[in-house]
Amino acid sequence: MMMNTTLEQLRELKLAGMATGLQEQLTQAGMSAMSFEERFSLLVDREVHWRSDKRRARLLKEANLKFSQACIEDIDTRAGRGLERSAVMSLALGNWIKNGHSVLITGLTGTGKTWLACALAQYACRRGHTALYQRVPRLGEERKHLGNTR
């Protein structure tokens, strides 16, 4: 009964990752052999990872990516693609994210601009930054809307 109260209190304190970790510890054999400090460390680690995963999922959802599976590691830089490997590697370092810069991708229809933009936005979200995928016509509509509200 006391453990159910503890689990409920953890959830009320918004420590869902820790509550889940404690439930798992209660069902796993051999946990009693670990010290209090070791078990507590596992619970805190579980909470940190739970919050990080939840934040990353929220950032990815808010980024509004057309291709959520696109990732920077899968960018094709073969010669026929027209992408410079050095430019992609520079973007992969993430300095543009740290410096608060935006990326505008231009090119012919069918060259993979959308996929590349989604891969870069997904990369930014994985690093804990906010990102937003938006096509230029939509961006123009939003600017016009913001101008009318002022």
**DSSP alpha helices (H): ranges in 64-149?**
85-93, 95-98, 113-126, 136-149
Rounded Cα distance, 33 and 49, in Å: 24
Domain closes at, from 62, 78, 111: 62
Domain closes at, from 30, 62, 94: 62
Same domain, 118 and 48: no
Tokens standing for residue 28: 């796993």
Confidence of residue 79 (pLDDT cuts 50, 70, 90): low
Same domain, 55 and 74: no
Q: Is the dihedral of CA 35, 36, 41, 42 positive or negative?
A: positive
pTM of this structure: 0.71
Tell me: pLDDT of 146 over 70: no
Residue numbers of the domain that contains 49: 2-62
Mean pLDDT value across residues 84-109: 83
Same domain, 58 and 116: no
Tell me: pLDDT of 142 over 70: no
Same domain, 57 and 88: no
- CA of 137: how far to CAs of 19, 134, 141, in Å? 46, 8, 6
Tell me: pLDDT of 38 over 90: yes
Rounded Cα distance, 105 and 112, in Å: 10
Domain closes at, from 14, 43, 62: 62
Q: In this structure, what are the phi and psi dihedrals at residue 130, rounded to the nearest 5 degrees? A: -80, 150
Tell me: pLDDT of 149 over 60: no
Q: Is the dihedral of CA 50, 52, 58, 60 positive or negative?
A: negative
Mean pLDDT value across residues 46-60: 94
